[in-house]
Chain A
Amino acid sequence: MAKREIDLSLVDVENREMRLGSIISWDGSAEELVDNSRYELRSRDKRKSLEGCSGKKEKGCRLCELNMPFNQQTMCTHSIVGCQVGNIPDCILIEHSPIGCSAIHARFNLGYKMGLARRGKKIENIQIFSTNLLENDMVFGASDKLRQTILDAHNRFSPKAIFISMSCSTAIIGEDIESVAQEMEEELEIPIIPRFCEGFRSKHWITGFDISQHGIMRQIVNKHPQKQEDLINIIALWGTDYFTEILKPLGLRVNYMIDMASFDELAQASEAAVTATFCHALGSYMATALENEYGVPQVDAGQPYGFKGTDDWLRSIAKIMGKEDIIEEYIKAEHERVLPKIEALRKKLSGIKGFVATGSSYAHGMISVIRELGIEVDGSIVFHHDPVYDSGKSEQDTLKELVDTYGNIDHFTVSKTQQFQFYNLLNRVNPDFIIIRHNGLAPLAAKIGIPAFAMGDEHFPVGYDGIIRVGEALIEILARKKFGQVLKRHVKLPYTDWWLSQEDPFILARNPGILDEVAEPQLLESLTEDASPEASIIKSA
């Protein structure tokens, strides 16, 4: 095991596909993915070459990907940066871009307001600024508009820090947001943090989390920390505060980051006694940076899902806190408390098959929880896969832990919210329900009669009670199958019969030539008709 290098002296982050060898398109079993990932090896030889798919030594040690010629719309790193550093109540994010890049703000606002409510903070609208760039700006540059918007943000809200995010268009025309940020930082005397998150830069939106965390580490986190021995950083999103209750016996106060955290809450990250997260794929970069820079230890465990995951996670934190003496009793008492309810749920859910489609290591946790409930899982999707996390800790190898604890998953697919594949993937295993995050896939499941549990509150499955919460919710979700069956009987999918009849969701990658066997062109019908006297009776406007 070796810690990954994170260089906070650099303004930018390396894309995750280069840093960790992350992939977005793969199909096989979970066991194969564990084997191919070679977590331990990658962890040891970070910068050394590993044999790549082509058999040559390749930088970035990629897993073999199935490149598809067909893609459907997804998300970008710019969106992720918006829903991270744009969700800090006393800081402002400026999106330096045409207005379309800001079109998702009303959706962000829904999550943000819900998050503020869950954390007991004042509920008010999100304030993300756009420089609203137009055609002339693409020709002549837009630094003055950026300066104006920085001043507007400062004058309107006196934020404690201002972030600037780069978009595709401003990156292509070469806007120097770093220089403007430096210059305005001197003028306004608050951190002004440029973020390079143009949508085209990384093949997966997940890099946007690293970009956001890197900026906070560099320019907000307190560089001269005063240790707070009872503080635990939980790198999270908008989830309900279940962690406080879970961690109470260890005497820990929770410091949630990044969403809804204030400037000061982010600054104190370096003062915490320990860092943990609900999802290593999301939190590992910052947890590792805090460990490397400020000696804040991170959990030596997977994630707090299911019995074993939660046990290991609690033991790891207890060990760091020097409270190993009390933890076993707590774990035992918790097992005894929840087990009767879980047994009852197992009976109710017996014979049910589930399918998970979420972000990568979160999916590993989610599958653990539903398998804990006795639900069969023989197929799932992760939206990307990291063969290793930044921590390099083998204890955090969540996919391996899933397979070791709960067994293999025969059909384990890496696919970035590609709805057309989802049809074939679901047909392959025919589940009774899906658990899903991100948009675009669940509507298809509904149309083929499969109800979806949209896991909007990502903390819902956390801990021992999380198993019960998920089980109870699933009983409600399964009832919705009625609605799906109605849709299935009456609604047509937008895909051709040819595609719907394909058994292999990756056939286009394995056999690209198949596309050249295109159907006969649907020739345009001629519109010409003879002129007739009727045309002349029409009055003119």
Chain B
Amino acid sequence: MTEVNQTKKSNTIVHPRYGCAIGAINTVAAIPRGIPIANCGPGCADKQYFMLSFSNGFQGAGYSGGGALPSTNVGENEIVFGGHKKLDDLIKSSLKIMDGDIYVVLTGCSIELIGDDVGAIVKEYQEKGYPVVHAEAAGFKGNNLTGHENVVKAIIDQYVGEYKGRKKKGLINLWFDVPYYHANWRGDSIELKRVLEGAGFKVNVLFGSESGGVSEWKEVPKAQFNLVVSPWVGLEIAKHLETKYKQPFLHVPVIPIGEEATTEFIRELVDFAGIDNKKAEAFISTEAERYYYFLEHFSEFFSEYWFGLPARFVTVGDAAYNLAITKFLTDQIGLIPTKQIITDNTPEKHRQNIQKLFHDISDEFPLDVEFIEDGYVIEEKVRNVDYGSSVPLILGSSWESDVAKEIKGLLIPISTPIVSEVVINRTYVGYHGALTLLEKIYSETVRG
């Protein structure tokens, strides 16, 4: 089609980069033996599955997501007469058919608009002792990131419950990647847990292969503190837990990538928690030695590869990965940040702070950070960056594939959606992940 220039600010979004609040079905499915129950139209859960799991590294939906996911599949009858009975039937039959430990009802647009009292239905089950929770997840109220926070808070309030007992020193609740939305979340979680345990902590990771499921969730109130490793997602959860359980939290906005950042991260945590640092320091020295063993080898390629390396890069993605990867590449590898576009609809109140975090990365290069959600505008911006004399490096989503092709750039997928690779157990964070990220970027480079 003939394109006409137009980038006026409007409500329009093309090439979406997040799902709606119903996407938090994935948050529930990420809890071992957690069963999401979608209380919405017949296509809602399916569409979020395609955004956050299938078209995002083909992660698979695991035990209870994807095609296994119970849904009321609200029809005309429910819109006219209310969806109480259908939901009640579904909860009752889910308890009988789905083999789970916790069942979380997520209510979408249509049921929210017709005003069903979902809380009342779920409460009947709760009063009988069934582990059923309900959370609001209307798509017009928020995206899958805020949906994730809401679902976690609902589980805390309605399932984990009150706790006034003692805390366990050295036990951390980790609030980090948004499950499935961050395609590497499973690998990230393994690496960060490894790092935290190596430093002498115990960790409630709460999601993925390393989580103990509901018994781990019940440990949440006992943790010494909450650790939020993200610029903004998870802060609402930590604040909620601070009020509810008088639990302090530590906010680390930049996910650590590479030896220096990860080591600094560990030391900050040890200091905050007031635990003995011997174990942590021993761990750091082993990790550092291994890291530089590999980096030394890599440096030979990096120094004398004749056929050109990328220098200037743009990042297009959510605030968390965008910030962390921009920092690592700028600060540790010496690449030049040229445009950073944050696509996750970061709430206004966090934007200024995030911009400052970006600006703090480099004195040498002024960082150009923008918050944009419309793919058309994003791709225009990526197209018009001055990439200098080297091959353009774009760390973005698969939506940038056309523009990458057009400007003959390298596209490294770091954000939703990702359809050019299959992600299984991979991480770009911590000690190990940094090396994988380098492998990924420079494999693409040598492939040409």
* Residues of chain A having any CB pair with chain B under 8 Å: 69-79, 89-90, 97-107, 109-110, 124-125, 127-135, 137-138, 145, 148-149, 152-153, 155-159, 167-169, 172-173, 198-201, 203, 205, 417, 419-420, 439-441, 443-444, 492-499, 508, 515-516, 518-519, 521-525, 527-535, 537-541
Contacts and interface: CB of A to CB of B under 8 A. Distances in A.
A106 B140 contact: no
Contacts of B23: 100, 103
A205 B376 CA distance: 29
Interface of B: 1-4, 6, 8, 10-16, 18-23, 35, 38, 40-52, 54-56, 60-61, 63-64, 66-76, 78-79, 89-90, 92-101, 108-110, 113-114, 128-131, 138-141, 143, 159-169, 218, 221-222, 224-225, 242, 248-250, 272-274, 373, 376, 398-399, 401-402, 417, 419
A442 B337 CA distance: 43
Contacts of B159: 524
A200 B6 contact: no
Contacts of A203: 75
A527 B1 contact: no
Contacts, number: 330
A279 to B, nearest CB: 21
19 contacts: A79-B47, A100-B20, A100-B108, A103-B23, A103-B51, A103-B52, A106-B16, A129-B13, A158-B2, A168-B41, A168-B79, A169-B140, A172-B113, A199-B74, A494-B100, A498-B96, A524-B129, A529-B163, A538-B169
B99 A494 contact: yes
B140 A495 contact: no
Given A74-B71, A496-B97, A538 B139 contact: no
B20 A157 contact: no
A149 B41 contact: no
Contact of B6 (A130, A152, A492, A534): A152
Contact of B101 (A137, A443, A522): A522
B73 A71 contact: yes
Contacts of B79: 168, 172, 200
Q: Which 4 A-B pairs have the closest CB atoms?
A: A440-B67, A100-B20, A76-B43, A529-B165
B185 to A, nearest CB: 18
A541 B268 CA distance: 12
A201 B76 contact: yes
B19 A73 contact: no
A132 B43 contact: no
A107 B50 contact: yes
B165 A530 contact: yes
B248 A540 contact: yes
Contact of A72 (B2, B71, B417): B71
A70 B90 contact: yes
A137 B108 CA distance: 16
A99 B67 contact: no
Nearest to A197: B43
Nearest to A422: B67
A13 to B, nearest CB: 15
Given A125-B401, A169-B140, A521-B128, A499 B71 contact: no
Given A75-B43, A104-B46, A539-B274, A148 B10 contact: yes
A72 B163 contact: no
Given A200-B75, A538-B248, A106 B419 contact: yes
Contact of A76 (B42, B70, B114, B139): B42
A158 B1 contact: yes
A538 B13 CA distance: 46
Contacts of A521: 128-130
Contacts of A78: 41, 43
B109 A98 contact: yes
B381 to A, nearest CB: 14
Given A159-B1, A494-B100, A527-B160, A534 B167 contact: yes
Contact of B169 (A73, A148, A515, A534): A534
Max chain B Cβ within 10 angstroms of own Cβ: one of A89, A148, A157, A205: A157
B12 A541 contact: no
Contact of B73 (A73, A498, A516): A73
A56 B409 CA distance: 67
Contact of A74 (B4, B73, B222): B73
A288 B346 CA distance: 50
A107 to B, nearest CB: 4
B47 A104 contact: yes
Contact of A73 (B4, B45, B164): B45
B402 A528 contact: no
Contacts of A525: 218
B92 A106 contact: no
B245 to A, nearest CB: 10
Contact of B143 (A76, A99, A420, A440): A99
A199 B73 CA distance: 9
Contacts of A528: 162-165
Contact of A157 (B3, B11, B43): B3
Given A106-B56, A131-B12, A148-B12, 9 more contacts: A72-B70, A75-B42, A100-B44, A101-B139, A130-B14, A132-B13, A156-B6, A440-B46, A537-B169
A496 B16 contact: no
